[in-house]
Structure 1
Amino acid sequence: MSAHHTAIAAGDATKKADPNKLSCCGVGVGVGGGGDLHFLPKKLVGGGGPSALKLALVSFLGVILVLAVDLSLTGAGAHRGLRRQYQHYLAGGGAVAVVVSGNGEGEGLNSNALPWLTVPNPSNFTEELLDRWLTPGGSPCRDSRTANISIPNLDDAAAAGEATELGAPEIHEFTFWALDDAGRRRCLGGDFFEIDLSGDEWKSRPPVVDHGDGSYSFRLQVAPRFAEGGFRLTIVLLFRSFEGLKFSSLRFKHRAELRRIPLLFHRSDASPSLPALETCRAADFARDVWSGRWTRLAKNDNCEEVDDAGRYRCLEPEHPCEAPWCAGPLGALESNGWVYSAHCSFKLFTADAAWRCLDGKWLFFWGDSNHVDTIRNLLTFVLGVADTSAVTRRFDAVFTNPSGGPGTVRITSIFNGHWNMSMNYLGLHSLRHKGFRRLVSSYFVGDDRAPDVVILNSGLHDGCYWTSVRAYVQAAEYAAQFWAGVMADVRAHGHAVPRVFYRTTIATGGYARDLAFNPSKMEAFNGVLVEKLKRHGVLTGGLIDNFDMTFPWHYDNRCNDGVHYGRAPAKLVWRDGKIGHQYFVDLMLGHVLLNAICNG
């Protein structure tokens, strides 16, 4: 949902420079390409005393050079806000060293420390998305189709049969170009690339920027703790030319694996350090976009099959986390050692700690059926509640600590896929039903109190209902106004306003990557609704980026059935033909929700 995820971070090139001229100039390929951004002809700077004519020529070329660099970074006619955003993206938001590996050059502002790879909050997300989506382009831009890519440095090593070696924990940036069937560089963006960085103990989605001129940049970072062994950089072209945003996306799918590149990350005693991750607090949920990673801290090599209950209980339940990647019982996640972290790390809660936090609280969920799975898994795996029959699409129930200790929590969940809870595929349009609006509002003004915490989510149903991005933008604006009105009514009744979080919609997996709720569309919809909710002052709690959490596991159906990551364990044949399935991605979300609720 970010600039890098929906390909709008580096500018909307509404006025296109000549791609042939750009490709043959030293500055034409931008940062990370094959050109030298500091090129200046030696004859102009060397030799005897410079004449006035020479000085004038040098000055003139210097101005042209600066303008060309600016255009290569941002696209001709780009919005200044996007230009600043891309510069922030490159620098990590601070005066720190960033290694730019696409052309072997980097600029270190402070060589003593390196930042964690992060992505800045997007600005004018909806406006820029619509501008880019509606840009008609022109011949040859409009008529050419992406068929391949060119990543000069990485391709050269792969062609020689070698793995590219990179340092850890430096941030490495590479620029690649989209090519048409004839191998020519394209001059428009809009392609949706799935990029995966995987090792035996590491899985992440490198953040991507679409420059709008046919070039794209992505960044890689691996922490030294996990740098041993080989890595694979996989690049898949899922949709071309914003076709994933179309109403019926299946017929436009491309899904071509363009690269699988071997990488080696090395570390040394002289490697710069990273700041230690700290457990997430309230302020950490203010980020609109996360760029996290899954790391494997332990592994039971003998645990390959599920038990009779369909569960992967590979580690002892009390197996501890390893600081700073998480805190608490890693074994309780039933992931055989995998855990998620982002710009901060997360506590994995014991039942006692979770009940102490939730005691007396009222949680309100509004979203798609993934909410139902998460609530059930939270009750079952964390809180120890055996009877979860009350957890349906629409329910309001109070749960009590089954251990006999203190603890009660009220949970309300309203399915938003349709105003009729037995039906589907309306999404945000369900709010156009007056009775449904009254139902939702009644929980906030009908009692002597309002919920303490609200978890909102747009949902996969929106991908099936809205015929265009513009139609969804209008629906998101209506939804944001509705929720702003609900919170205004809470204040008017003298109640405490709840902390409101938006939990981004998942990245659909396996076969569902091609459908109407594909990752390209749902990520864009996430970004639109988050921006609308923030502008109306609704998100008083912040954001939980479940899209980023699920993306590394969305390539197949091992951790999902296509549209759910939290289906209950069962020793049955799963969608991929194997017995049982991995459900830990949704369990991790449950613990992340507890961090948001409890660590304020």
Structure 2
Amino acid sequence: MPQKSLFKDCSWGYQIYPMIHWSFKVLLFASILGLLVIYGFDSWDSSRFHNDFVAIKLNNAHQYLTHTHQNIDQFTASSQSRLSFQENFTQPREDVEVGLEPMPVTNSGSEEPLSLEWISAEVEGNFTSNLLSAWVGSGVEPCSDSQTVEIMIPELDGHDYIELSTGKIHEFVFQAVDEVGKPHCLGGDYFETDVSGELWKSRPPIKDLGNGTYTFSLQVHPDFSGDYNVTIILLFRHFQGLKNSPERFAFDKVLRSIPIKFIKSSAQLSAIRQCVKSDFTRDIWSGRWTRHAKNDSCTISNDGRYRCQEPDFPCQQPWCDGSLGLLESNGWTYSTHCSFKLFSGEEAWNCLNNRWIFFWGDSNHCDTIRNILKFILNLDYKDVPRHFDMKITNPDNPRQTVRITSIFNGNSNVGGNYQGLSSLYNVTYRELLKSYFSQEIVPDTVIMNSGLHDGVFWPTLRRFTKGAEDAAAFWADVIDGVRQKGLVLPEIIFRSTIATAGYARRMAFNPSKMEAFNGILLDKLRQSVLVSKVIDDFDLTYPWHFDNRCSDGVHYGRAPAKLQWRDGQIGHQYFVDLMLCHVLLNALCQQ
């Protein structure tokens, strides 16, 4: 008997209803096609599909924001980086070269403004060991026989006019180029960066990727839109600034001076609040100087001072709090991840009353102490010696006193120089320091730094690292002695060493070396659990370090005088160190 077909019982459906069968095939084909299309979008990852939709929706609301470079590897790092990538991704193909041609920036009144974060710099983990590894390996890698002489910035080069939006962080990549125009494959070059406008000065953070490529980031607050100039200087090549006698290796060439217009956008940066105690735990700062007044007719007085605004001229919130006129800066003030209170004499005395502040570092401390006494506490001190210990009384209120001690660390001999941390190897000098912490009353606060003298003394990075370890061990022993006596432990504030200025940028205490030494000493003090707070004076001074208008090269706080200054002009600007004085008071007084 013939075998029965398995489909015999249902064959009637095809014979009676051919249209049903045809419709079914169409439906099946459409369903499969739909699955294939959906599968192509993130392999059915519904959450990512939703995120793409949100990003594109935001992009439509701000489609005219100027493009910025974003690293695709950071695509999922934050909602802000995701938005920036979507802005680039959704543009027509001819606009792939982002950031080159200006585009109009419009603010939509019907949309809420974007909420953005401030630029911030972070210390990489294992700072000292990573720096030592890179420094020790220099000279043995591929392409070590060539040096950087130029750079290429694909997104900015070749364009006479560039617009960027305010608020956003604009990141750019550039490539180091050698003598024959080929990409250089090693890192370690020290570039100085600056973004300046009439009312703004800051250091764009730069990151060395270790392979001849670098990134830098630009950001300007919406309140300061306008014309800017971005400058990139190659100061030293491949760790040469860390050498014992680096001046002969200085390259010191301006590689780019780029005019950029920052257009006001609807983006809003997170609000800057006044600094509190916890704000001083950050190891490195990314601040900016902003200007809120300008008196073009202001001239130097016979005592060398610039009183361009009245002493009670007010700060503008949120950039500072108090009387901006006290800085004698013709409107400039400094802020970072928080803003600073500018103290009146009465407020400063109320804070410092019955306290003992101990300074240990280079002679810049002497200038700062004198400026606190003269400009803030209203005392007539013309000079503070390298070794200074005095109980000071408020002339307007004799019941208020403060003890200030300063011990110079540039040399174990008070009249010497260029020993730095190695002064601690002198037994007599060590005992002098210990004597201030061996009684029943000890300093409330220790403010310390490494100092410029270390830049001259230590022949290699490795030797300085050993000196920093020994210095941290010494201070750990001092503090342990206080602990064993059952006394309240002093608070230790690390004040980073300045960025040397003008001619001094090329010398043994150049910014490249001092920035490295700052990081190493802080690293060692952190390992010994000594530091309570950090004041980044390197960042505070950096925007003014390109010439000698605010510094003689190695000091920012020299006393005002109507005399010829190093740059040939009569008088000099001293407000940078006055700002440091107020920053110190914030660290000492704010809760």
1:145 matched to which residue of 2? 147
2:24 matched to which residue of 1? none
Deviation at 1:402, TM superposition (A): 2.1
Instruction: Answer yes or no: is the 8 Å Cα contact 2:97–2:155 preserved in 1.
Output: yes
- CA deviation string 1:50-90 (max 9, x = no partner): xxxxx9xx99xxxxxxxxxxxxxxxxxxxxxxxxxx99x97
The answer to whether structure 1 residue 286 and structure 2 residue 281 are counterparts is: yes
- SS of the equivalent of 1:298 reads coil
The answer to whether structure 1 residue 276 and structure 2 residue 271 are counterparts is: yes
Q: 1: CA distance between counterparts of 2:275 and 2:393?
A: 27
Q: Which amino acid aligns with 1:423?
A: G
Residue of structure 2 aligned with 1:130, choices 132, 137, 142: 132
- CA deviation string 1:212-252 (max 9, x = no partner): 00000011100011112x10000000000100000000110
Q: Which amino acid aligns with 1:586?
A: D
Q: Mapping of 1:416-427 within 5 angstroms?
A: 416-427=409-420
- CA deviation string 1:330-373 (max 9, x = no partner): 00000000000000000000000000000001000000000000
The answer to whether structure 1 residue 192 and structure 2 residue 187 are counterparts is: no
The answer to whether structure 1 residue 246 and structure 2 residue 248 are counterparts is: no
Q: 1: CA distance between counterparts of 2:76 and 2:568?
A: 43
- CA deviation string 1:398-438 (max 9, x = no partner): 11112236421000000000010010000000000111111
The answer to whether structure 1 residue 301 and structure 2 residue 292 are counterparts is: no
Q: Which amino acid aligns with 1:130?
A: L
1:405–1:327 Cα change, 3 Å: farther
1:325–1:99 Cα change, 3 Å: farther
Residue of structure 2 aligned with 1:433, choices 396, 419, 426: 426
Give 5+ residue unaligned stretches, structure 1. Answer: 1-47, 50-54, 60-85
Q: Percentage identity across aligned positions?
A: 54
Residue of structure 1 aligned with 2:310, choices 316, 336, 347: 316
Instruction: Answer yes or no: is the 8 Å Cα contact 1:363–1:412 preserved in 2.
Output: yes
Instruction: Answer yes or no: is the 8 Å Cα contact 2:363–2:386 preserved in 1.
Output: yes
1:455–1:272 Cα change, 3 Å: same
Q: Which has the higher contact order (CA 8 A, sep 6+)?
A: 1
1:111–1:92 Cα change, 3 Å: farther
- SS of the equivalent of 2:269 reads coil
Q: Which amino acid aligns with 2:305?
A: R
Residue of structure 2 aligned with 1:475, choices 467, 480, 502: 467
Residue of structure 2 aligned with 1:521, choices 513, 528, 546: 513
1:334 matched to which residue of 2? 328
Q: 2: CA distance between counterparts of 1:99 and 1:451?
A: 51
Q: Which amino acid aligns with 1:503?
A: R
Instruction: Answer yes or no: is the 8 Å Cα contact 1:236–1:256 preserved in 2.
Output: yes
Deviation at 1:122, TM superposition (A): 2.5
**Over 3 Å off, 4+ runs:** 89-105, 136-140
Instruction: Answer yes or no: is the 8 Å Cα contact 1:293–1:342 preserved in 2.
Output: yes
Instruction: Answer yes or no: is the 8 Å Cα contact 2:164–2:260 preserved in 1.
Output: yes
- SS of the equivalent of 2:459 reads coil
Residue of structure 1 aligned with 2:567, choices 573, 576, 582: 576
TM-score by length of 2: 0.82
Q: Which amino acid aligns with 2:346?
A: D
Deviation at 1:171, TM superposition (A): 0.4
Q: Which amino acid aligns with 2:530?
A: V
Q: 2: CA distance between counterparts of 1:216 and 1:575?
A: 34
1:360 matched to which residue of 2? 354
2:555 matched to which residue of 1? 564
2:119 matched to which residue of 1? 117
1:103–1:129 Cα change, 3 Å: farther
Q: Mapping of 1:379-394 within 5 angstroms?
A: 379-389=373-383, 391-394=384-387
Q: 1: CA distance between counterparts of 2:229 and 2:388?
A: 44
How many corresponding residue pairs? 505
- SS of the equivalent of 2:233 reads strand
- SS of the equivalent of 1:558 reads coil
1:25 matched to which residue of 2? none
The answer to whether structure 1 residue 177 and structure 2 residue 175 are counterparts is: yes
Q: 2: CA distance between counterparts of 1:499 and 1:111?
A: 42
The answer to whether structure 1 residue 586 and structure 2 residue 588 are counterparts is: no
Q: Which amino acid aligns with 1:393?
A: R
Instruction: Answer yes or no: is the 8 Å Cα contact 2:232–2:257 preserved in 1.
Output: yes
Instruction: Answer yes or no: is the 8 Å Cα contact 1:119–1:207 preserved in 2.
Output: yes
Deviation at 1:137, TM superposition (A): 5.6
Give 5+ residue unaligned stretches, structure 2. Answer: 1-31, 34-38, 44-69, 89-95, 100-111
TM-score by length of 1: 0.81
- CA deviation string 1:272-309 (max 9, x = no partner): 21111111111101111100000001111111x31000
- SS of the equivalent of 1:236 reads strand
Instruction: Answer yes or no: is the 8 Å Cα contact 1:379–1:388 preserved in 2.
Output: no
- SS of the equivalent of 1:154 reads coil
- CA deviation string 1:187-223 (max 9, x = no partner): 1000000000000000000110000000000111000
1:189–1:596 Cα change, 3 Å: same
